[in-house]
Amino acid sequence: MNNALNELIREAETVRADERYALRALVSMDLTSLGEDDTDETIRTLCARAVTPRGHVAAVCVYDQFVPLALGELAGTGVRVATVCNFPHGGADTAASVSEAKAQVAAGAQEVDVVLPYKRYKAGHRDQAIALLHQVREVCGETVLLKVILETSQLQSPKIIAEASRDAIEAGADFIKTSTGKVPGGATLETAAIMLEAVREMTPKVGRPLGLKPSGGIRTVDQAAGYLFLADRIMGPEWATPRTLRFGASGLLDDVKKHLGL
């Protein structure tokens, strides 16, 4: 990582929350519940929290069996419904992932967060790993947003993270996402900077909007502000919108509401 980028990351670490950052975090949040013990009531409560007097989150992210319920609860609110595919382990069974994605799209999921087979990718079997993404992209078509989870803490190497970011985008990712939240290590500013640079490089090449989704361990507006600052500096001050930046979070909303007096 070059000196200029390292300096930018150090600046991002010093950014502190204010109302503006809290509002930006709110509208770019994927409010998430992916617990093994989730129930219909859990999801109803999640959906009720997604809309506040100061605005609504971008999406809720739930397991696929709850997609129809979430769609009903959120009808007319502007909040989108996302689910997860090949989650959380990033298995290598392409047929299973394609079948899973087909069912999710049929159920009405508006966004699919699919896990890159990161172990296979890191081991050098990249073509097979990326082929899974291509096929899930085909299932999603042009209307369902596809976010690819790289599980960056497991890829570890900045070089591999950058390569995986570019490969995922070429395979059809609308967003690249840091983490599942199910393994040690989540989003970091260093990783986000690497991924944002890949987004900046690839956007003119693919000719469509691309986004970043930091996920894993982001619980405060102070933390979210650092990522927003990086996005503003690397991509430009008008770039970060719910179409291009999301925060995968379950606990961030509480701190956002505190900053907004809700």
Q: Would you name the residues annotated as active-site residues?
A: 113, 177, 213
- DSSP secondary structure of 25-46: HHHTEEEEE--TT--HHHHHHH
Quote the Cα angle for 198-200-205, to 5°.
90
Place of tokens 């956002």: 256
Name beta bridge partners: 115. 149
The answer to whether 80 touches 110, Cβ cutoff 8 Å, is yes
DSSP, res 2: -
Q: How far is CA 60 from the centre of its chain?
A: 11
Q: How far apart are CA 129 and CA 192, in angstroms?
A: 22
Q: What share of the chain is helix, strand, coil (3-state, %, to 5)?
A: 50, 15, 35
